[in-house]
Amino acid sequence: MLCESCQQRLESGELSDLDLDISEILLEIEETNPDSRLAEASFYKSIELDKLVILVIGKGETDVFKPFIKKLQKELQLPRIEFIEKAKGSVDLKSIINDFVQPGKLLSINTIFLPTGDTEYKARVQIRENDKLPLSKKNIEKLIHEITDKLVRIEIEQKS
């Protein structure tokens, strides 16, 4: 049973069913293992990408969640779970993009002001001929949007 606020967040798509399932398991772990430090940690949301689920958690809290990866994978039948720590306060867009395009190199970020008043960003990324990005361009854009709430378009340039 969800409170009215959480129900609205679920209906609006801000929360997913997977977010609720993960929260339920984490709460169960916390109740059965009071030394888990989960009560002090923050789980913001999950992001599903192909065969990967990314948990957005509080800054510096990876060690709190790591011991419970296997349990989450088993109970939710998830192939792979990774963590991203959400920075408190302002988000450094450059460092977030840089993290997701490795081994590529971020060349520039351009701000695009749309006639609607919205703002988008174009990130030029250079990768060597034999290298490839860890995720698809589309998934990197989705991840960055989920974390920063900013629309970023990735433009790949091949380096010979």
* pLDDT for residue 2 is more than 80: no
For position 87, what pLDDT does the model report? 66
* Check whether domain 4-86 has CATH 3.20.20, yes or no: no
Q: Please compute the mean of the pLDDT values over residues 98-123 and round it to a whole number.
A: 92
Q: Which CATH class is domain 93-159?
A: alpha beta
Does position 115 have pLDDT exceeding 90, yes or no?
A: yes
Question: In the chain, which segments carry CATH 3.30.300?
Answer: 4-86
Asked whether 130 and 99 are in contact (CB, 8 A), the reply is no
Handedness of CA 53, 54, 55, 56 (dihedral sign): negative
Asked if residue 156 lies in contact with residue 127, where contact means CB atoms within 8 angstroms, the answer is: yes
Q: CB-based contacts of 58: which residues, under 8 Å, 6+ apart?
A: 41, 42, 43, 44, 85, 86, 88
Strands lying side by side in the sheet with 119-128: 105-113, 119-128, 151-159
Domain with CATH 3.30.70 in the chain: 93-159
User: Which residue has 């949301």 as its token pair?
Assistant: 45
